[in-house]
């Protein structure tokens, strides 16, 4: 009797399958698009659970076969026709999504983070845009419209060296632009061919030094910088401590203190609080003094000679 009942149920199920081409469990109206329609408010669908070894032992698995792997990265796996792939993964097995814990990729040429259309890649934190990479490769930090390969709006800090290199035998420039309201001109610094490394150290304070160092920085009309020896500058100027000239002015050549155009030579002391005289020394001896007006001293005086005799004065 039991065998007969089982047979009858089997025949009935087959008849339903043949008649409707779909089966409903938990429903009397399976959806026409579903071969198997399950409905329950207290139970789920249990997919066969296998270890990785058991999964790999399946003979000629059908493409699309689904199992739940219980060890070695547990989860749902489907057979792609050539290999077992974690569910929600690409055919390469790297995954369609980047995991919060990172992904074990195998080929960066096919597994990458980015866009596959001509649209920018945007990175956000706290739901605010922080980085934008344009489809043409420009990277913007703090800007949505980067105009250079790297465009940063805001302060940039480096705890290491900043290197500006080249591979095409053309030295690049460090450009400092003028205030935006004034225009778009810039001041640039660029290295030229040199025999060794050179490091310039900025002064430690704004206090000026009273000594002339090894060289003075000069520029020509084209902006080319070079070092010049202080002696080269002093050679064409009168030093405060005097100059060792080679020949005095003889009417046509030689060194002299004066003007070369139609302007007077003015020698003055301009302190009006404590007026000072103008003194002339010859042979390491004062020979003439011009005193400031309004004092008790004569207007000028010729100093005493070696014997102590006054040689002349003018009141």
195-230 pLDDT, tens digit per residue, is 999 998 888 888 877 776 778 888 888 888 888 887
Strands 186-190 and 285-290: unpaired
Mean pLDDT of 262-271: 90
- Rounded CA-CA distance 253/258 in Å is 13
**Confidence at residue 205, expressed as pLDDT on a 0 to 100 scale:** 85
Mean pLDDT of 249-263: 91
Hey, is 304 helix, strand or coil?
strand
Residue 293, Ramachandran bin (φ over 0: left; ψ between -120 and 50: alpha; else beta): beta
**Confidence at residue 233, expressed as pLDDT on a 0 to 100 scale:** 73
Pairwise pLDDT comparison (1 vs 170), residue with the higher score: 170
- Rounded CA-CA distance 89/95 in Å is 4
**Confidence at residue 177, expressed as pLDDT on a 0 to 100 scale:** 94
Instruction: Output phi, psi for 186, to 5 deg.
Output: -140, 160
Mean pLDDT of 253-262: 91
**Confidence at residue 285, expressed as pLDDT on a 0 to 100 scale:** 79
pLDDT at residue 239 is higher than 90: no
What stretch of H or E contains 9? helix 2-20
Contact (Cβ atoms closer than 8 angstroms) between residue 48 and residue 54: no
Identify the residue whose tokens are 């010049």: 228
Mean pLDDT of 271-288: 83
**Confidence at residue 214, expressed as pLDDT on a 0 to 100 scale:** 76
- Rounded CA-CA distance 217/229 in Å is 9
- Read off the DSSP letter of residue 228: E
Hey, is 107 helix, strand or coil?
coil
For the ranges 63-72, 92-101, 186-195, 209-218, the lowest mean pLDDT is seen at 92-101
The pLDDT confidence band at residue 304, using thresholds 50, 70 and 90, is low
Hey, is 203 helix, strand or coil?
coil
Beta strands in the chain (DSSP E): 23-25, 36-38, 49-50, 66-69, 75-79, 84-86, 121-125, 128-133, 139-141, 150-152, 173-177, 186-190, 216-219, 225-228, 278-282, 285-290, 300-304, 310-314
- Rounded CA-CA distance 80/59 in Å is 14
Pairwise pLDDT comparison (21 vs 141), residue with the higher score: 141
pLDDT at residue 314 is higher than 70: no
Q: Where are the alpha helices (DSSP H) in 183-229?
A: none
**Confidence at residue 72, expressed as pLDDT on a 0 to 100 scale:** 86
Half-sphere exposure of 110 (CA within 13 A, CB side): 8
- Rounded CA-CA distance 292/295 in Å is 6
Contact (Cβ atoms closer than 8 angstroms) between residue 124 and residue 144: no
pLDDT at residue 145 is higher than 90: yes
The pLDDT confidence band at residue 308, using thresholds 50, 70 and 90, is low
pLDDT at residue 313 is higher than 60: no
**Confidence at residue 151, expressed as pLDDT on a 0 to 100 scale:** 96
Mean per-residue pLDDT over the chain, rounded: 84
- Read off the DSSP letter of residue 54: H
- Rounded CA-CA distance 131/147 in Å is 14
What stretch of H or E contains 14? helix 2-20
The pLDDT confidence band at residue 302, using thresholds 50, 70 and 90, is low
3-state helix, strand and coil shares in percent for the chain, rounded to the nearest 5: 10, 25, 65
84, two tokens: 């077992």
pLDDT at residue 80 is higher than 70: yes
pLDDT at residue 258 is higher than 80: yes
- Rounded CA-CA distance 176/7 in Å is 91
DSSP string, 71-118: SSS-EEEEE-SSSEEETT--TTSS-SS--TT----S-TTTS-SS-SSS
């Amino acid at each position: 009797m039991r065998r007969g009942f089982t047979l009858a149920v089997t025949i009935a199920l087959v008849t339903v399958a043949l008649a409707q081409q779909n089966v409903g469990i938990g429903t009397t109206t399976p959806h026409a698009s579903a071969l198997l329609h399950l409905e329950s408010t207290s139970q789920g669908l249990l997919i066969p659970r296998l270890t990785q070894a058991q999964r790999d032992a399946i003979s000629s698995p059908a493409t699309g076969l689904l199992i739940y792997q219980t060890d070695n990265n547990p989860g749902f796996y489907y057979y792609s026709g050539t290999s077992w792939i974690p569910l929600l993964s690409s055919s390469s097995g790297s995954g369609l999504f980047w995991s919060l814990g990172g992904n074990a990729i195998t080929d960066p040429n096919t597994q990458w983070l980015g866009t596959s259309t001509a649209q920018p890649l945007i990175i956000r934190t706290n739901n605010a845009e922080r980085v934008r990479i344009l489809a043409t490769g420009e990277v913007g930090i703090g800007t949505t419209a980067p105009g250079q390969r790297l465009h940063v709006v805001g302060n940039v800090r480096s705890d290491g060296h900043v290197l500006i290199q080249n591979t095409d035998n053309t030295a690049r420039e460090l450009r400092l632009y003028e205030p935006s309201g004034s225009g778009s001109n810039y001041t640039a610094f660029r290295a030229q061919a040199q025999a060794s490394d050179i490091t310039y150290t900025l002064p430690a304070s704004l206090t000026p030094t009273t000594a002339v160092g090894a060289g003075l920085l000069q520029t020509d009309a084209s902006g080319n910088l070079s070092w010049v020896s202080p002696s080269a500058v002093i050679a064409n100027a009168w030093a405060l401590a005097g100059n060792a000239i080679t020949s005095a002015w003889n009417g046509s050549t030689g060194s002299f203190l004066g003007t070369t155009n139609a302007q007077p030579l003015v020698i003055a002391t301009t302190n009006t609080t404590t007026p000072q005289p103008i003194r002339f020394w010859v042979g390491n001896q004062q020979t003439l003094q011009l005193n400031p007006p309004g004092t008790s001293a004569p207007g000028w005086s010729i100093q005493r000679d070696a014997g102590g005799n006054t040689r002349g004065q003018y009141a």
